Amino acid sequence: MPLQQLKEITGHAGAVYCCASKDDYIYTGSSDNYVARWKINEGVQDKFAIKFEQSVYTLCVTNEDVLVVGLANGGLHFFDISSRKELKFYTQHTAAIFSITYNSIKNHIYVADADGNLSVWSSDGSKLVIYLPLGCGKVRSISVENEGEHFALACQDGTVRIFDSEYFNEIVTIDGHNGGATAALFHPLNPAFLITGGKDALLKLWNWKSGKELKSVVAHTFAIYTIASINNGKTIVTASRDKCVKEWTSSLDFVKRLDAKLGGHKHSVNDLCVLSEELVASCSDDRRIVLWEHKN
């Protein structure tokens, strides 16, 4: 069966910009300057909350229970979740951080900002591995290949740039989207394929190794902000500024539009996070987190 709303979670006092999941929890960041944590099964907030001096634009959680948070002013924070203590704080980035992604194979954290700067850190935040000023404009999305050998950046200049994760060389540059690339996901079932979205509202499938475009779909009305996969890679989910979450097959055939009439969002949908192979969460400017369930 297609995705259906399971429950909604409320509690933030501002737009919810980002979400990530680990174990039985969802972590969310908001314009109210808080990172909050919610119990997935109960849909309620627990006592874990951190207040910052700026809006929280992006976050991720590592396998070692390190929470990494990026702020509107470029501040980068590493927290130990179990002790609830800050491990490191950096001002390496001076522009807003829009994307943070964890490579569990390499134990690296990838961080990118509004000016097109990329930094790579050890997963505990103890070491800066490399800093690359790419000059590609805002990087809104970073995707890591399943094997951890490559990662892709969706860039404001319209390019999608693929790097190797060993020496951090840019090995492929795809001229992806007019007006800017905003989302990227290595295909969960075919490591040679990459799915991207852009400000042009197009969803595209590429053979990233050759740079060949395989498919292009008019997917949304406005920019596509994020792409995720569930159902063992058989279901692709997209979220957009047009207030909608949409469901697709693995070959990017349309399945279902999830809007306010079906329990979805009333404003821009900013992020998605996968909770399990059956559950995905979306978060929005409407201050809500919605859990969507896929039933086979």
Q: Give pLDDT tens digits along the chain (296 positions).
A: 899 999 999 999 999 999 999 999 999 999 999 999 999 999 999 999 999 999 999 999 999 999 999 999 999 999 999 998 999 999 999 999 999 999 999 999 999 999 999 999 999 999 999 999 999 999 999 999 999 999 999 999 999 999 999 999 999 999 999 999 999 999 999 999 999 999 999 999 999 999 999 999 999 999 999 999 999 999 999 999 999 999 999 999 999 999 999 999 999 999 999 999 999 999 999 999 999 999 87
Query: For the chain, first and last CA: distance in Å?
Result: 6
- Strand extents, DSSP E, 96-222: 97-103, 108-113, 117-122, 128-133, 139-144, 150-155, 159-164, 170-175, 181-186, 193-198, 202-207, 212-218
Look up tokens 């369930």; give the residue: 293
Q: How far apart are CA 51 and CA 86, in angstroms?
A: 12
Residue 217, helix vs strand vs coil: strand
For the chain, domains (ranges, CATH) are 15-220+247-253 (2.130.10.10)
